[in-house]
Structure 1
Amino acid sequence: MMSRAERKEHPLSMRMPETDIAIIDRAAALRGRSRTDFVRDAAVRAAKDVLMETAPIRMSPAGFKAFMATLSGPAAPVPEMVELFKRAAPWESKASLGDVDAGPPAAAASKRKSRAGKRR
């Protein structure tokens, strides 16, 4: 029989507003996960992030010298990043605007004036 000290799982309970539970349930469903699995993974990931922010980085004096030399050296372009920055942003492409062309601003303004005149 396993003693309480050897138990590998420990319950965790918390009270949350219904709106928070609904958000969690919706996100868990989108991932195909149970609420428990989703919350456990999110909590552990957040905890690891906090621990990594405060974890000291240890290296040898030679390793630190090489690290500083790399930081102090000239920057080298990364071809993939250069290519990425040459592309138009999704919101800048004509296709993302729904292929709707209202024409030049002057034409759109004259259409508004003619419609306004018809309403009177």
Structure 2
Amino acid sequence: MGTAKLDEGSVAHKEVKSARLTIRTTSTTNDVIDRAARLQGVDKSAFVVSAAYDRAREVISDHEQTVMSEKGYAQFLAMLDRPAEPIPALVEAMKRYGRQFNGE
């Protein structure tokens, strides 16, 4: 079985590694991670950092994207195209702003 080099990402792996990450785990979890790292041909630290980095990127990506059905997307666009109705509290806030900062 071949070995694979794990990578923290094209930008992250070029940075100087000065930040420290300390974790506690069970001996069973530690053994599983150790075995998986050996199977990949990397040390445990590289394995854990790579896996955590990949998962972190997934989580961030999931939160930065909005996925909706075609029907939902059409409804969303229709709502954006509708003229906005004035909100009385917002209209009053804008008037106060004008008086305070523009001398109106």
TM-score range, shorter chain: 0.3 to 0.5
Higher relative contact order structure (alpha carbons within 8 Å, sequence separation ≥ 6): 2
Report the TM-score when normalising by structure 1: 0.40
Report the TM-score when normalising by structure 2: 0.46
Larger Rg computed on CA atoms:
1
